[in-house]
Amino acid sequence: MKKHNIMIPKPRSNFVKIECESCQETMILYTYSTKTIQCKSCNAELVINTGGHAKILGKIIETMD
Ligand SMILES: [Zn+2]
């Protein structure tokens, strides 16, 4: 999978807006990410890879798919 910042209109696409519970920073993330994603502001882990599906640790405030 290549790194692209464009939305691909696939039925399984699942973007979520997540709020970091430590610093309230919000970010839009892809839930099928295969790597750990950290808050860009405080470096708290927001998404961890559990081997197949990402586990979201932050607070989901909006889903957009
Ligand atoms: Zn944070």
Q: Give the domains, in start order, of the chain with CATH numbers.
A: 15-64 (2.20.25.100)
Distance 27 CA to ligand 1 centre (A): 10
Joined together, the tokens standing for residue 65 give 């798919």
How many helices and strands in the chain, by DSSP H and E? 0, 6
Q: Residue 61: pLDDT above 90?
A: yes
Q: Which residue has the higher pLDDT, 60 or 64?
A: 60
Residue 32's pLDDT band (cuts 50, 70, 90)? confident
How far is C-alpha 45 from the geometric centre of its chain's CA atoms?
10
On average, the pLDDT of the chain sits at: 82
Distance 14 CA to ligand 1 centre (A): 21
pTM above 0.75, yes or no: no
Distance 1 CA to ligand 1 centre (A): 27
